[in-house]
């Protein structure tokens, strides 16, 4: 039986593999957030979509211009872990497609999330319409995409569904969501997939690059 992604992440939270996710993603996420916040002079609010154990939310709360950082995740155990680490943080256990923040935010971040959705276009449109301020930005990291051949075995390895798209297909999808000034770049940082997925996976010997989609909502500046 195909597993739900949230069930996998609940299991990872229980076995401590969420810390491995932080370790392996931290360099790419740092690059993404530095790029996102370059030149930022005004206070901002922030949502981490698929926040896991909340480590990005905790990092953003250290930023002197961040007035509020929110984490939302569909994996209950991940949110429980986030709250256990950071009792004063703002974390929500909700399906991303169903959740709406009390107020819209300037920035949305996600790392290795969008391709777990059968129709990521619907999710991104929901974020644009319900989460993001009119001049807001979204930044997302993706390692599972057509040009990254070594990632193609991941759905079978994890026994879950993933949406495989090319870079151009992602760009077209983002454009259909009403986003402009779409930019893509790669971090040029290779690491071994076995550090992330474990020695028992069929993809543990393959290296891959962090692929990052970064885009801004219409009329940003």
Find the CATH number of the domain harbouring 62. Answer: 3.40.50.150
Would residue 40 count as lying in a domain? no
Nearest to 33 by CA among 13, 48, 53: 48
Mean local confidence (pLDDT), 77-102: 97
Q: Is residue 100 part of a domain?
A: yes
Asked whether residue 197 is domain-assigned, the answer is yes
**Which domain, by its residues, includes 89?**
5-35+46-216
Q: In what order do the strands lie in the sheet with 132-142?
A: 90-93, 66-73, 44-49, 105-111, 132-142, 207-217, 179-192
Max distance between CA atoms of the chain, in angstroms, equals 49
CA distance 139 to 48: 10
Quick check: is 123 in a domain? yes
Question: Strand 207-217 to strand 132-142: parallel, antiparallel, or no bridges (unpaired)?
Answer: antiparallel
Q: Which of 185, 188, 191 is nearest to 151 (CA)?
A: 191
Instruction: Specify the pTM.
Output: 0.85
Name the pairing type of β-strands 90-93 and 66-73: parallel
Q: Is residue 178 part of a domain?
A: yes
Q: State how many domains the chain has.
A: 1
* pLDDT score at 130: 97
Express each pLDDT in 157-211 by its tens digit: 999 999 999 999 999 999 999 999 998 887 644 433 333 344 334 434 344 334 3
Q: Please check whether residue 18 lies inside any domain of the structure.
A: yes
pLDDT digits (tens, 9 = 90+) for 96-131: 999 999 999 999 999 999 999 999 999 999 999 999
Residue 221 lies in a domain: no
Is residue 41 included in any domain, yes or no?
A: no
Does the structure show a pLDDT above 90 at 51?
Answer: yes
């Amino acid at each position: 039986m195909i597993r739900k992604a949230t069930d996998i992440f609940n299991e990872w939270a229980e076995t401590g593999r969420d810390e491995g996710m932080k370790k392996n993603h931290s360099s790419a996420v740092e690059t993404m957030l530095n790029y996102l916040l370059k030149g930022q002079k005004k206070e901002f609010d922030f949502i981490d979509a698929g926040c896991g154990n909340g480590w990005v939310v905790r990092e953003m709360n250290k930023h002197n211009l961040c007035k509020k950082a929110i984490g939302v995740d569909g994996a209950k155990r991940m949110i429980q872990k986030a709250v256990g680490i950071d009792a004063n943080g703002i974390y929500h256990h909700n399906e991303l497609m169903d959740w709406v923040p009390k107020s819209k935010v300037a920035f949305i971040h996600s790392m290795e999330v969008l391709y777990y959705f059968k129709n990521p276009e619907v999710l991104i449109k929901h974020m644009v319409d319900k989460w993001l301020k009119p001049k807001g930005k979204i930044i997302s990291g993706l390692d599972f995409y057509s040009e990254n051949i070594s990632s193609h075995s991941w759905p079978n390895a994890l026994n879950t569904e993933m949406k495989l798209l090319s870079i151009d297909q992602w760009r077209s999808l983002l454009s259909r969501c009403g986003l402009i000034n779409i930019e893509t770049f790669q971090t040029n940082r290779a690491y071994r997939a076995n550090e992330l997925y474990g020695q028992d996976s069929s993809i543990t010997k393959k290296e891959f690059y962090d692929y990052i989609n970064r885009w801004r909502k219409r009329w940003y500046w």
